[in-house]
């Protein structure tokens, strides 16, 4: 790569009258003859490409030795030099270089490939390896929008009612339009106890809703399990982090001691995580030697990953998936379905069929980029299509109701989509408002007062603050109690246990 630059380009143009440049193709030298001035040349060490350019001066004739020819970068360096010499303000070289890398990454139009600043890279590593502070939601950039993949179980995001596919349009009034997911994470995260207000647009609703959330510690506890009766256990895996396979093995051993004879493995709203963990966990349920997945590179070369287990577990299994099940959770679901004949129950999964790797730079910034696509054991690519369950079961309609802003006051004569959501929530938990059209009348007021009295809240008939939060909390409990997907999975499992 040739980089020839004068320290004061403007003065050189005024002083010299003749310049001849000759490139010797055999030797790789560029000879520049200049008259009437002494030209000072400098060399640049290009850390990102390993290219070094040396400049040597011999009186009036200058000989520049070019280490490596990279003509595709000529335009990039010309743009850099133009800005460096001609921009009306002093330039931040580091900022320009970071911007150039970020621009290359964005040109790929791949929501899973990101350049991360030092701060963004720290957030990325902490979300995989340890606890962090924030709202607790996996997000991605999709079609130019920042979209929720899944809220983390027990997180402030889940408690606030965020759902997969919710679009975050702004944070504290700042638009996220055009941001990468890494840039958005930096804005959304913050110290425990601080408040952040998200503007959420839920698909199928007309108006966006402002959702205030108090940030908290988000521990990376990824395995939750309990006995649900009749020798059946339910284990939920919320993501695939560093110790997930180890924690799952311990939980299964614990549940077997409690009498587990069948297992419902819940992968709903699991946004994925580490490939190695997905392979380790899949190996717990797929017979040894049978395929877990295939990874195909850009040249079409395929690497197969067989199970390392000694055989099937000694209990029947059913797996739950939904539209928030993505990436590594889809690897696991596809592996047990196609290589172990396990039934899948729920809704079609998210559909992420690519593999990413991350590379740290010396300054601790990072690039996460797509390296391959993964295929199911039968060679299916589920990208943007998802995995269709054997038995499709939706949750009740009220499980997808729009969230309500607790800071907004809903009272007599109010009319809005949030009032409509509140009316449907009240009816679902047993406080019939008499109507569900979004107009807050006397019957709605009476339903709110009854709900407040039943929950030891001031019975003023106004829905705001603690009353709104309690209403959404009670709805979430109702969804868990009337979990139609889990009920169907248990039913299927009982048939297999006979």
Residue 131's pLDDT band (cuts 50, 70, 90)? low
Q: For residues 323 and 319, what is the distance between their CA atoms, to the nearest angstrom?
A: 14
Residue 328 is given by DSSP the state H
- Answer yes or no: is pLDDT of 6 > 50: no
pLDDT at 127: 57
- Answer yes or no: is pLDDT of 130 > 80: no
Q: What is the mean pLDDT of residues 192-218?
A: 89
Q: Report domain extents, the chain.
A: 9-86, 131-217, 223-395, 398-481
449 is catalytic: no
CATH number of 131-217: 2.30.42.10
Q: What is the mean pLDDT of residues 373-393?
A: 97
| CA nearest neighbour of 2 among 62, 48, 44, 56 | 44
Question: Do the beta carbons of residue 250 and residue 260 sit within 8 Å?
Answer: no
From the list 338, 347, 418, 420, the catalytic residue is: 338
Question: Do the beta carbons of residue 284 and residue 230 sit within 8 Å?
Answer: no
- Answer yes or no: is pLDDT of 26 > 50: no
Q: How far apart are the first and last CA of the chain?
A: 72
Mean pLDDT of the chain: 83
Which tokens belong to 398?
Answer: 């009220």
pLDDT at 118: 83
Which element (helix H / strand E) includes 134? strand 132-134
Q: For residues 217 and 239, what is the distance between their CA atoms, to the nearest angstrom?
A: 16
Contacts of 430 (CB under 8 A, 6+ apart): none
From the list 327, 365, 414, 467, the catalytic residue is: 327
- Answer yes or no: is pLDDT of 232 > 60: yes
Residue 309's pLDDT band (cuts 50, 70, 90)? confident
Fold (CATH) for 398-481 = Muramoyl-pentapeptide Carboxypeptidase; domain 1 (1.10.101)
Residue 33's pLDDT band (cuts 50, 70, 90)? very low
pLDDT at 311: 58
Least reliable range by pLDDT among 9-18, 385-394, 444-453, 460-469: 9-18
Question: Do the beta carbons of residue 111 and residue 181 sit within 8 Å?
Answer: yes
The most confident of the ranges 14-18, 55-59, 311-315 is 311-315
pLDDT at 60: 38
From the list 352, 368, 470, 474, the catalytic residue is: 352
Q: What is the mean pLDDT of residues 432-449?
A: 97
Residue 126's pLDDT band (cuts 50, 70, 90)? low
Q: For residues 267 and 252, what is the distance between their CA atoms, to the nearest angstrom?
A: 15
Q: What is the mean pLDDT of residues 193-215?
A: 90
Sign of CA dihedral 273, 274, 275, 281: negative
Model confidence pTM above 0.85: no
- Answer yes or no: is pLDDT of 420 > 90: yes
- Answer yes or no: is pLDDT of 21 > 50: no
| CA nearest neighbour of 208 among 167, 163, 149, 147 | 167
pLDDT at 22: 33
Question: Do the beta carbons of residue 325 and residue 270 sit within 8 Å?
Answer: yes
Q: For residues 305 and 354, what is the distance between their CA atoms, to the nearest angstrom?
A: 15
- Answer yes or no: is pLDDT of 161 > 80: yes
Residue 23's pLDDT band (cuts 50, 70, 90)? very low
Question: Do the beta carbons of residue 345 and residue 389 sit within 8 Å?
Answer: yes
pLDDT at 135: 92
Question: Do the beta carbons of residue 237 and residue 268 sit within 8 Å?
Answer: no
Least reliable range by pLDDT among 116-120, 226-230, 448-452: 116-120
Q: What is the mean pLDDT of residues 481-485?
A: 95
pLDDT at 44: 32
Query: DSSP 3-state assignment of 144?
Result: coil
Q: For residues 418 and 464, what is the distance between their CA atoms, to the nearest angstrom?
A: 11
Contacts of 295 (CB under 8 A, 6+ apart): 302, 303, 305, 355, 372, 373, 374, 375
Residue 205's pLDDT band (cuts 50, 70, 90)? confident
N residues, the chain: 498
| CA nearest neighbour of 237 among 267, 211, 193 | 267
- Answer yes or no: is pLDDT of 289 > 70: yes
pLDDT at 57: 36
pLDDT at 335: 98
Q: What is the mean pLDDT of residues 325-352?
A: 97
- Answer yes or no: is pLDDT of 221 > 90: no
352 is catalytic: yes
- Answer yes or no: is pLDDT of 95 > 60: yes
Dump strand ranges (E) for 2-43.
Answer: 19-24, 29-34
Q: For residues 116 and 106, what is the distance between their CA atoms, to the nearest angstrom?
A: 12
338 is catalytic: yes
Q: What is the mean pLDDT of residues 90-103?
A: 90
Query: What are the percentages of helix, strand and coil residues in the chain, rounded to 5?
Result: 30, 25, 40
Instruction: Give 340-371 pLDDT, tens digit per residue.
Output: 999 999 999 999 999 999 898 998 888 999 99
Instruction: Provide the b/e sequence for 324-343 (b: ≥16 CB within 10 Å).
Output: bbbbbbbbbbbbbbbbbebb
Q: For residues 163 and 107, what is the distance between their CA atoms, to the nearest angstrom?
A: 29
Report whether CATH 2.60.120.260 matches the domain 223-395.
no
């Amino acid at each position: 790569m040739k980089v020839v630059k004068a320290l004061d380009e403007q003065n050189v143009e005024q002083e010299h009258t003749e310049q001849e440049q000759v490139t010797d193709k055999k030797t790789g030298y560029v000879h520049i003859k200049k008259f009437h001035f002494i030209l000072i040349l400098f060399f640049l060490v290009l850390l990102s490409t390993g290219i070094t350019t040396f400049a040597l001066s011999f009186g009036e004739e200058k000989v520049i030795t070019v280490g490596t020819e990279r003509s595709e970068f000529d335009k990039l360096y010309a743009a850099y030099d133009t800005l460096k010499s001609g921009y009306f303000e002093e330039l931040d070289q580091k900022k320009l270089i970071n911007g150039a890398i970020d621009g290359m990454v964005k040109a790929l139009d791949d929501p899973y490939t990101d350049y991360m600043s030092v701060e963004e890279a720290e957030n990325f590593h902490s979300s995989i390896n340890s606890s962090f502070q924030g709202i607790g939601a996996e997000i991605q950039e999709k079609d130019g929008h920042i979209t929720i993949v899944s809220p983390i179980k027990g997180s402030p995001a889940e408690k606030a009612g965020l759902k997969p596919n919710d679009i975050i349009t702004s944070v504290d009034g700042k638009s996220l339009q055009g941001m990468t997911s890494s840039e958005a994470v930096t804005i959304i995260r913050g110290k425990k106890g601080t408040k952040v207000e998200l503007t959420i647009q839920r698909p199928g609703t007309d108006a966006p809703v402002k959702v205030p959330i108090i940030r908290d510690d988000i521990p990376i506890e990824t395995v939750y399990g309990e006995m649900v009766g009749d020798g059946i256990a339910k284990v939920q895996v919320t993501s695939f982090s560093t110790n997930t396979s180890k924690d799952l093995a311990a939980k299964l051993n614990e549940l077997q001691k409690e009498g587990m004879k069948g297992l419902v493995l819940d992968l709903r709203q699991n946004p994925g995580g580490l490939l190695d963990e997905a392979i380790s966990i899949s190996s717990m349920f797929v017979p040894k030697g049978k395929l877990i997945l295939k990874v195909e590179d850009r040249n079409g070369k395929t690497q197969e990953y067989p199970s390392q287990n000694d055989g099937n577990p000694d209990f029947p299994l059913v797996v739950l998936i939904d539209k928030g099940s993505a990436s590594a959770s889809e690897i696991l679901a596809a592996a047990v379905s196609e290589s172990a004949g396990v039934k899948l129950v729920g809704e079609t999964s998210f559909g992420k069929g690519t593999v990413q790797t991350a590379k740290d730079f010396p300054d601790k910034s990072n690039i996460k980029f797509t390296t391959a696509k993964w295929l199911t054991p039968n060679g299916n690519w589920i990208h943007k299509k998802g995995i269709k369950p054997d038995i499709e079961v939706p949750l009740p309609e009220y499980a997808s109701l729009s969230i309500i802003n607790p800071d907004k006051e809903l009272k007599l004569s109010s009319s809005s989509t949030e009032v409509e959501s509140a009316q449907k929530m009240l009816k679902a938990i047993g406080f019939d408002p008499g109507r569900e059209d979004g107009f807050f009348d006397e019957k709605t007021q009476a339903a709110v007062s009854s709900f407040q009295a039943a929950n030891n809240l001031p019975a003023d008939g106004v829905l705001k603050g603690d009353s709104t939060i309690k209403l959404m909390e009670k709805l979430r409990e109702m969804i868990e109690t009337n979990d139609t997907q889990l009920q169907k999975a248990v039913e299927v499992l009982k048939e297999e246990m006979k």
